Each structure stands twice: as structure tokens, then as C-alpha cells.
Amino acid sequence: MYYLNDAPKPWGLFFQDSASPQMEALVELHDIIFFYLMLILFMVGYILLSIIINFFHKNWLISNKYLNHGKLVPIHIK
């Protein structure tokens, strides 16, 4: 049968079947690294999106704190 041998399939998107324990460990390491990479990517994306959305919101405390800084600075003229 065509799908039972360890040859790569045409237009295959995934790794071919591993023939050694080292290759199985390498594929598992790839999957673990990719999982944590996607986790970090989505967390940073969520934080960035929430900052962008909340920056334009009128009642956001951090935006008001820094945008109003220096407005009421007293100037002493003699």
C-alpha cells in the first residue's frame, strides 16, 4: 500500500514517519517548542491589542495619567 511505507507523500504538510527514536524525540521537541511559541505569541498579541483598544478609551487610567501630565505646572514670573 502507498501509505504504509516510510516514503514522503507528494504535497505533504507534516513530517514523514520517523524511523528512529532520535527522530521521534526531535518531532516531539518541535511540537513542544511550537506550542509554547504560539502561547507566547497569542499572549503578546492579546496584550498589544488590549493596549491599542484601551488607549483610545476615554476612562482608561494609564492613558489619562500620562496624557494630563504637566498641564498644571505653575510658572513663577518675577
Residue 74 clears pLDDT 90, i.e. is over it: no
Task: Tell me, yes or no, whether 43 lies in a domain.
Answer: yes
Task: Tell me, yes or no, whether 49 lies in a domain.
Answer: yes
Task: Tell me, yes or no, whether 39 lies in a domain.
Answer: yes
Number of domains in the chain: 1
Q: pLDDT value at position 41?
A: 98
Task: Tell me, yes or no, whether 28 lies in a domain.
Answer: yes
Q: pLDDT value at position 69?
A: 56
Domain housing 31? 23-53
Residue 53 clears pLDDT 90, i.e. is over it: no
Q: Which amino acid is at 10?
A: P
pTM for the structure as a whole: 0.56
Task: Tell me, yes or no, whether 44 lies in a domain.
Answer: yes
Q: pLDDT value at position 23?
A: 85
38: left (phi over 0), alpha (psi -120 to 50) or beta: alpha
Q: Which three cell numbers stand for residue 69?
A: 501630565
pLDDT digits 0-9 by tens, 3-40? 555 666 777 777 777 778 888 899 899 999 999 999 99
